[in-house]
Chains A and B, each alone.
Chain A
Amino acid sequence: MRLRLLVCLLVLAALPAAAQTTLKVGAIYVGSVHDYGYNEAMHDGLMAMKKAIPGVTVLEAENVPETAESTRIMEGMIQQGAKLIFATSFGHQQFAFDLAKQHPDVDFEHAGGWMQAPNFGNFFAATQAAWYPMGVAAGKMTKSNTLGFVAGVPIGFVIGNINAFALGARSVNPKAEVRVVVTGGWSDKAKEAAAANALIDQGADVITMHVDSPATVIQTAESHGVYSIGFQSIEAHKLAPKYWITGLGFTWGPFMTATAKSVMAGAFKPGMVREGLGEGMMAIAPFGPAVPAATKTLVTAAADKVGKGFNPFTGPLTDNTGVVRLKEGESLGGDKMGGLDWYVEGVIGKAK
């Protein structure tokens, strides 16, 4: 017994010598990885990475608040030997960045931020244009021409998503309008349910959302026999067996795999990565049973168009108060989305 323990200890002591072929990756999530949403998509990305590279082990922590608590948890992962950390929520940025300075031998990737250091990069998907095909799907499926959008916090990126959704819908159905309800938080399920109900009361027959977990909104729509379109994780289709149309999900696997490989090769290159449907950082979820073949073809075609570089924010473009925002020939790049504070024509709601 004692001999076996000794052997174990020796093996453990010998492990660091073989560090080139193995890698411990840490990941912190702001919510649960079973949220059918943002955190589940991140977790699925890590699992894809683990599967793709033999010798990679993963340390995960759920419900990590965007406070100094996150420092403690990441520090613990580093103590356990993690050499690559994914800090996956926007508010983890400063804590991860400070920790990166203290641990130059550990590489960090943060989702959604802007900070840069030799061992600190950040990544996110260019979501706005990818919402365009979702709009096409909604515009084709609606009968009342009223689409509902439950939004968490109306920051520029969310407004951009809503705008691209409306532009897509009106490209196939000029009568379609998008009603927006803001809940004021990324995760307040009771309000999300009430917001979905309010939109249904106003005649919306397709509901979509941008909050951390789409589960409550999708289930509320399903229980009222109203169509839904998901966002964040493509797994969300499991929540609505009947009235699911399609959805947009993050597919972080390829990026995370490439990052882990670069760390193992000692060639980590931090950058400001923003990729979309074309590069495989986002994907369209499976279609629901109610979607006709012709609509599927239209949506897939729109997704291909976006993947090849089509920008829905191309002039002429008027906002919902009648002000011309983009003239013929002008366009708005993905890097300008953070500053958006107006809705396009066809959106009912105030952006500020």
Chain B
Amino acid sequence: MITPFATAILTSSILSGTSLLYATLGELVGERAGIVNLGVEGVMLIGAATGFAAASATGDPYLGVIAAGLAGTAVNLMFGFVVISRRANQLAAGLTLMFFGFGASALIGRPFVGEIVTGLPRLIGGFDALVWLAVPTACLLWFLLFRTRWGLGLRAVGEDPAVAFASGRRPEWLRYQALSIGGALGGIGGAHLSLALTLSWDEGMTAGRGFIAIALVIFARWNPLWAVPGALVFGAAEALQLQLQARGADVSPFVMTMIPYLLTLLILVFWGWNRRSAAPAALGRGFFGVE
């Protein structure tokens, strides 16, 4: 009995965790370049709405995923213009981006509410392509960040843009690149919610997952490989309470719905200590050129 239950928990953790993993990786690559984007929630929503709209209009869920990625990139480039070129405060701009995402996604998704779409087809093991590509994406991102010259430059910009600039890198250009990749991943994360998990679009359907992604970047110590277990644990927190209820566990449903948040608190308590050492040194700081 325990084995099928464990399998069920794992399966649903993976399903719930996939959108989180993409969004976390997206935020992570931006933060590695020194940009905190508190607007991931908005980026995910725009991805979810655009992906659903495109899949509904074309009938092809894969085109929906591509559209979601492009939309995420477009939104993050707007954010980039504000914080990189105009050097606005990243936290304020990020929150604004989140609210922009609420409105813009509602506008994009409005004509498509209640449409019936073909979801991402289930492939081997009952998982869709985005699930299967999630871990390879994390590995690829790790390779790019830690094993290529490009990644070295990007991380250098996140640690100290002035030094990176002095050694011949172009901080602003690299930051735009990081935000483009991050936006695409955030958008795809949103699309997994609308095109694979729920097969519908609903205003505000990310329900705070964008913020969990920001917390997960800290949990992952800014390392894409660590983001994988992180997303899985948070996915499990959501899955566990629902699975326990379906199983008829003798626990109050009110206590069960607290599980994900209790887990978040526990992780922050036990994980908090290594935060300072791992964070990119120039996180949240603009690059004002060198005098």
Residues of A with Cβ closer than 8 Å to B? 31-32, 34-36, 40, 63, 148, 154, 179-185, 187-195, 197-199, 201-202, 204, 213, 215-216, 219-220, 223, 238-239, 348-350, 352
Contact = CB atoms under 8 A, between A and B. Distances in A.
A352 B255 CA distance: 9
A194 B202 contact: no
B113 A190 contact: no
20 contacts: A32-B110, A32-B202, A179-B245, A182-B245, A182-B257, A184-B253, A188-B207, A192-B198, A194-B12, A194-B16, A194-B197, A194-B238, A199-B246, A201-B8, A201-B11, A215-B200, A219-B199, A220-B198, A239-B116, A349-B248
A191 B238 CA distance: 8
B8 A35 contact: no
B264 interface: no
Interface string B183-209: 000000000010001111011011101
Interface in B197-249: 197-200, 202-203, 205-207, 209, 238-239, 242-243, 245-248
B198 A189 contact: yes
Contacts of A31: 202-203
Nearest to B256: A182
B40 to A, nearest CB: 16
A223 B118 CA distance: 10
- The 5 A-B residue pairs with the shortest CB-CB distance, nearest first, are A34-B114, A184-B257, A201-B8, A348-B248, A198-B246
> Which of A154, A180, A189, A202 has the most C-beta atoms of chain B within 10 angstroms of its own C-beta?
A189
Interface residues of B, number: 40
A191 B16 CA distance: 9
B119 interface: yes
A223 B245 CA distance: 22
Interface of B: 4, 8, 11-12, 15-16, 19, 106, 110, 113-114, 116, 119, 122, 193, 197-200, 202-203, 205-207, 209, 238-239, 242-243, 245-248, 250-254, 256-257
A331 B193 CA distance: 45
A197 B12 contact: yes
Contact of A154 (B119, B242, B250, B253): B253
Most chain A beta carbons < 10 A, residue from B106, B200, B247, B254? B200
Contact of A190 (B193, B243, B250, B252): B193
Contacts of B257: 182-184
Nearest to B245: A181
Contacts of B193: 189-190
Contacts of A348: 248
B193 to A, nearest CB: 6
Contacts of B15: 194, 197
Contact of B251 (A183, A189, A192, A350): A350
A223 B246 contact: no
A216 B242 contact: no
A190 B198 contact: yes
A201 B205 contact: no
* Most chain A Cβ neighbours within 10 Å, of B11, B19, B116, B253: B253
Contacts of B209: 190
B114 A190 contact: no
* Most chain B beta-carbon neighbours within 10 Å: one of A31, A181, A219, A223: A181
Contacts of B206: 190
B255 to A, nearest CB: 9
Contacts of A350: 250-253
Contact of A216 (B113, B200, B207, B247): B200
A215 B242 CA distance: 19
Contacts of B114: 32, 34-36, 40, 215
B242 A181 contact: yes
Contacts of A352: 252, 254
Nearest to A148: B246
Contacts of A189: 193, 197-198, 200, 202, 205
A183 B253 CA distance: 9
Contacts of A239: 116
A182 B8 CA distance: 18
Contact of A198 (B198, B199, B203, B239): B239
A62 to B, nearest CB: 9
A137 B111 CA distance: 35
Contacts of A202: 8, 246-247
A201 B246 contact: yes
Nearest to A192: B198
B246 A179 contact: yes
Nearest to B13: A194
Contacts of A34: 113-114
Given A194-B197, A195-B242, A350-B251, 16 more contacts: A32-B110, A32-B202, A182-B253, A182-B256, A189-B197, A190-B206, A193-B197, A193-B198, A194-B242, A201-B4, A202-B8, A215-B114, A219-B198, A223-B199, A350-B250, A352-B254
A259 B239 CA distance: 45
Contacts of A182: 245, 253, 256-257
Given A181-B245, A190-B193, A350-B251, A32 B198 contact: no
Contacts of B205: 188-190
